[in-house]
Structure 1
Amino acid sequence: MGRVIKHEAMEGVRMESGVVRRMRSFARGESTWAEVEGMTFEEAKAIAQVGCDLAAAGRLEEARILFEGLVAGNPRDAGAHAALGTVYQRLGRLEEAIAEYSAALARDAAHPVALANRGELYLRKGERQGFTDLSNAVEVDPHGETAAGRRARALVKAITLVAVEKLKEDSDQL
């Protein structure tokens, strides 16, 4: 990604056959723009790390731009969708965040960040799907190896305790 296209006289200039093949593959929906450009996994990972560092430093608009670029370049990347969702969430763009988490989960149904964050947003909206997402996040990260998994576990525990207390109150009133 990031190549500059120069306009020159095209007489006698042939496009490299590999480039043509990759472009046609992209046009048929068989490959991503990142693949056409030849972006490696390591390059995408490095860009994502810069995006995470920017977000951690509070530079959310810059992080948004990087993650939107990663998603545009490779819409199949669940991690990029989840990271973009997190940035949107921090920017207060909650519906867009839910859409990105959903896109991540469509590609990786066991993505703990997308499950935990979407679950939390759905709970805020009063939707039961939120508890399901949080429970699934705990299931995919049972030992709390990720911050998202630990947060999901804490939320599920808190919700369960509130529900038990509510049941106790209701049974005492009978």
Structure 2
Amino acid sequence: MTTEPKAVVPTETPSPLSGPEKLERAMTGFQAYEQGRYTDARDVFLDLVERDPTEGYYRTALGAISLAMDDLDSALEHLDAALRLNSQDTAALVNRGEVHLRLGNIMTGARDFALAVAMDPENKDPLTERARLLAAAALQSAEEAQLVDAEGSEEG
């Protein structure tokens, strides 16, 4: 029997942050996002998600960042997670709708936009206006696709 020391496996869990510290980091991440520094913003929000997986805003932010980086699969994953945490998150709905549009899931995207619009009947949230515009574009795309299909069927 040998008495060699066993390898120590680091079990680093991030130390808890206070509410103000989380807010400060989230603001730093948001500023990085606004400045187009998406990798920096993603790193901030990934750390925040690890520290507090119950806060939907961090997932919404990661979804928006992934969308801006054209990582649509990751965006969808984060936005779905955000909506599981808060089904009333209009930012997550509008961004997920846009992801679906880019993936060609026009009707699914339109459904997300309709949900966002329904949550703001007085049109107070700027995101709702974006949802209205994207919903109109989605419906127009769907109608155009139906016309092309109908013309193709008549020719065939």
Task: Please give the range of the TM-score, normalised by the shorter of the 2 chains.
Answer: 0.7 to 0.9
Once the two structures are TM-superposed, the CA of residue 151 in structure 1 deviates from its matched residue by 0.8
Q: Find out whether 1:144 has 2:111 as its counterpart.
A: no
Once the two structures are TM-superposed, the CA of residue 148 in structure 1 deviates from its matched residue by 2.4
**Greater length-normalized contact order (CA 8 Å, ≥ 6 residues apart):** 2
Once the two structures are TM-superposed, the CA of residue 166 in structure 1 deviates from its matched residue by 8.5
* TM-score, length basis structure 2: 0.75
Q: Where do residues 1-174 of structure 1 align in structure 2 (5 Å cutoff)?
A: 37=16, 39-127=17-105, 128-160=107-139
* TM-score, length basis structure 1: 0.68
Match of 1:112, as an amino acid? T
In structure 2, runs of 5+ residues without a counterpart are: 1-12, 151-156
1:100-124 CA deviation, whole Å, 9 max, x = no partner? 0000000001101110011111122
User: Alignment length, in residue pairs?
Assistant: 137
d(CA) in 1 for partners of 2:100, 2:140: 19
Once the two structures are TM-superposed, the CA of residue 160 in structure 1 deviates from its matched residue by 4.2
Q: Aligned with 2:41: secondary structure?
A: helix
d(CA) in 2 for partners of 1:88, 1:75: 18
Instruction: Answer with 44-53 or 107-116: which moved more.
Output: 44-53
Percent of paired sites with the same residue: 30
